[in-house]
Structure 1
């Protein structure tokens, strides 16, 4: 199946001007400027995009696609992500995780949902484990999950600096990280440790302790929620300067913002102003997770669910409200996460990579079409 998209104003994420893209089955076969002979013939379906912007499909490294929550009891569980919502969100690659609850929600549920989303035309992966240690697994060991289950990229969402985690010691984190790293090397995967960072005053110090007391690099960790408090944000900037990656959460609520959370787009802008290397920054939605609030004594106050569409919305805020160059902002929600996750076929628009792309309105930050693995899976009515 050959498809030729013409008159695409392409951001790969760097701006390439008016281009044409030849898609062969699931992948991009070629990209060339308009006017350059590329392909023709009756076997090719040609679609004129009429100068609309085209960007890579978004890569979301944290989605609770089987739901989350339960901190306030069974009546506070958040729902699963629906396929129609996922296909319309602009996220074409997503990684699922368990959170606080790894008892009534399990790695088997997570893997089954990933395969459902894959059957629906998306690219879905998952982490083994959850907030707590020892990690909940499919096969009985973290190493075998990463080695033998194609969808499993690493372990997460492991909680640090949070009263809901298992309060892991440095030795426990070293052992977990070493096992994930070794399994990743053997499987040809990232083997990363995806970290949920709470708002306790220790912030990212548990990860620094691992790097100090072992041969494991900070880059093996991928901590998220770095914009949840101003103090954590400042510590996150230091962590990035030390060689780590940091991830900002796009789902939020008015209550969380009132409590001191930094909106994700503003966090990106401040990090760039602080001269943080852009490749160390990324965005994730935390979709379908619970966004809980607790009082000073740790008592549950309430929650709202995260939204997958917040990733695309935040990208627009970065560009339109904070004046961030489109190529920098787009990379935060595509290329940088793909690199961290070891997904070398994702995150950019270039020959040989998967044909995951978004077609935007010509002038407004609005999603017109979603293409995943060479097929159009959503079109705005």
Structure 2
């Protein structure tokens, strides 16, 4: 058992200074003061001067690497568990991207199981950028129903020169299969959508909703901060009932070409009246960050980092005056709700004990607890990875 004493708890709503008791990997009490008998079974942690917040939920990480747009030498490396922990990410969703040939779903699933064995909570999407979707069971529905880690399909690319040209009927079929698998397995069945910078934007998703019974909320489009035009389109999509996700990994060159920083995009969307429950940030960790010229030729490529999720959370508060509760929700409860991860994203009784201790002044990550166990303590990593 672990007893966190007198930290300021954001659950993500501000609860003030509280004691938090953890047992069996779960949160079992949050009280003004908890007194326990002196016992070797209870470890008391002084959390004064710390914010006690939910572990971050990262909805898009290329845990087996990505890239390859510039040939074999541009394939990005796999994510190491420490890459997530130093960024406060305790729950993540692994995805394939452009390359579904050398980056297989079997490898993705094995990597997810590795990270789970080391202490994180890890889920996956079946499929990749392209359609027809690659699967393990030869069925999107079966993959989601029968494989514990698979909660949806994606990231399916649209409005991108790397995307498979499809019409609304084809995408509706994919969404229907994912939705059915999710219903039967009590999962989200979400369709993660990679959105490129083509002028068609999110129109294909609107067409699916217009010409089928699939609601816009079945889709979870990301990279919505790619351009100012796409951000405006995304805000309108959210006002029509959809979810939108902002990518935190970026480069100076990409920002100079017109991308809006994720923290700024979050602030703009909130100012435009979008509900925080429809807004998330994700890292796109270990993806390639390619820059293409006007002829779609690769001219630069860098690596996405999971730790940018925490950095953008802090930036939203310090640079764009986003309320700390709202900034927290964008990386905790909002993605957990969209992905139907009911034990994640909130510090409430019975939920998994995924907790970050942040310095109360700087918001720097001091300690990370995942499923009740420390993975980082007082800025020292204590994960047990072999490599």
Shared fold per TM-score greater than 0.5: yes
Q: Which residue of 2 aligns with 1:311?
A: 309
Partner of 1:241: 239
**How many residues are paired up?**
378
The Cα offsets for residues 115-171 of structure 1, whole Å up to 9 and x where unpaired, read as 111011000110000000011111111111000000000000000001101112111
Checking the alignment, whether the CA contact within 8 Å between 2:49 and 2:359 is kept in structure 1 is: no
**Corresponding residue for 1:89?**
87
Q: Verify: 1:73 aligned to 2:81, yes or no.
A: no
Q: TM-score, normalised by structure 2?
A: 0.96
CA contact (8 A) 1:22 1:39 kept: no
Residue aligning to 1:301? 299
Q: Comparing 46-55 with 97-106, which one deviates more in the overlay?
A: 46-55
Provide the aligned C-alpha RMSD in A: 0.9
1:184 and 2:182 correspond: yes
How far apart are the structure 2 equivalents of 1:30 and 1:63?
32
- Distance in 2, matches of 1:154 and 1:344, equals 15
What secondary structure is seen at the aligned counterpart in 1 of 2:125? strand
Which consecutive aligned stretches of 4+ in structure 1 deviate over 4 angstroms post-superposition?
A: none
Which consecutive unaligned segments of at least 5 residues does structure 1 have? none
CA distance in 2, matches of 1:278, 1:88: 25
Give the equivalent residue in structure 1 for 2:385: none
Tell whether the 8 Å contact from 2:356 to 2:367 is kept in structure 1 after alignment: yes
User: Within 1, Cα distance between the matches of 2:81 and 2:273?
Assistant: 38
Deviation at 1:41? 4.2
CA distance in 1, matches of 2:24, 2:122: 19
Deviation string, structure 1 residues 292-338 (Cα, Å, up to 9, x no partner)? 11111111112111000000000000111111111010000010000
In the TM superposition, what are the counterparts of 1:108-257 in structure 2 within 5 Å? 108-257=106-255
- 1:10 corresponds in structure 2 to 9
TM-score normalized with structure 1 length: 0.98
In the alignment, is the contact (CA less than 8 A) between 1:18 and 1:51 conserved in 2?
no
CA distance in 2, matches of 1:273, 1:163: 32
Say whether the 8 Å CA contact 1:4–1:21 is kept in structure 2. Answer: yes
Aligned to 2:97: 99
1 CA distance for matches of 2:238 and 2:50? 35
One of 262, 265, 274 as aligned partner of 2:263: 265
CA distance in 2, matches of 1:256, 1:167: 25
What secondary structure, in the 3-state scheme, does the structure 2 residue paired with 1:321 have?
helix
Match of 1:40 in 2: 37
- The aligned residue for residue 57 of structure 1 is 55
